[in-house]
Structure 1
Amino acid sequence: MHVPLEQQTPPYYAVIFSSQRTEGDHGYGQMSDVMVDMASRQPGFLGVESYRDTGGAGVTISYWRDLESIRHWKENPTHQVAQDKGKEQWYAGYSLKICKVERAYSFEA
């Protein structure tokens, strides 16, 4: 059973992918949907949040139980194809950070 991210108990890891898209879709939207679906079925996957502005700048944060789960996802052959396409076609630039979440809390009015 998948536990919602808000109910996960730290520590866990966040992979922060900040990017600037190129013009046009060129299959990006479809591949993005495939990647989210595949990642959600990977052992250790906890959740994902993604935001993009009208100028093409975006941030996707995926959450993982441990560093081994992140490594397995990075090495996934279909994910590697998407990574290559990103460098060739979809991104003008990007940065990636892996962070350990020690504490997490939220508020809702």
Structure 2
Amino acid sequence: MNKSLPHYAVIFTSKHSENTEGYSEMAEKMELLAKQQEGFLGIDSARNEIGITVSYWASLDAIKNWKQQTDHLEAQQKGKTEWYSWYNVKICKVEREYSFNNQKPIV
């Protein structure tokens, strides 16, 4: 993922409710749709009891446009009424980034 600095990260932390019918399909749809949005840079996600999804964006305007995207608005509403018992959103400015990778290449 080639991200210029600085950029922004939206950290979405959540806990599912008991009703998750249709959630996986919508999550897949939202990821595909986000990738088509101007300013989208990438996504990382993990879920056990608590889910954490971090999406990366080129600007605050790109985040605002994504939040207001029609299909995403529908997903947000279903999240509130059906899929989540709680969630938290943090928007952070990423000023520096580095990583380590000690994985052996697959041949």
Paired residues, number = 102
> Residue 80 of structure 1 corresponds to which residue in structure 2?
73
Structure 1 Cα separation of the partners of residues 36 and 84 of structure 2: 25
> Residue 33 of structure 1 corresponds to which residue in structure 2?
28
Gaps of 5+ in 1: none
Structure 2 Cα separation of the partners of residues 8 and 69 of structure 1: 14
> Superposition pairs for residues 1-109 of structure 1, below 5 Å?
4=1, 7-53=2-48, 55=49, 57-109=50-102
Structure 2 Cα separation of the partners of residues 89 and 97 of structure 1: 22
- Provide the secondary structure at the position in 1 that maps to 2:24: helix
Structure 2 Cα separation of the partners of residues 35 and 64 of structure 1: 15
Q: TM-score, length-normalised on structure 1?
A: 0.90
Across the aligned residues of Structure 1 and Structure 2, the Cα RMSD in angstroms comes to 0.8
Decide which structure has greater helix share.
1
Larger radius of gyration: 2
Structure 1 Cα separation of the partners of residues 97 and 7 of structure 2: 10
Report the alpha carbon displacement of residue 24 of structure 1 after superposing the two structures with TM: 4.0
- List, as ranges, runs of 4+ consecutive aligned residues in structure 1 with deviation greater than 6 Å: none
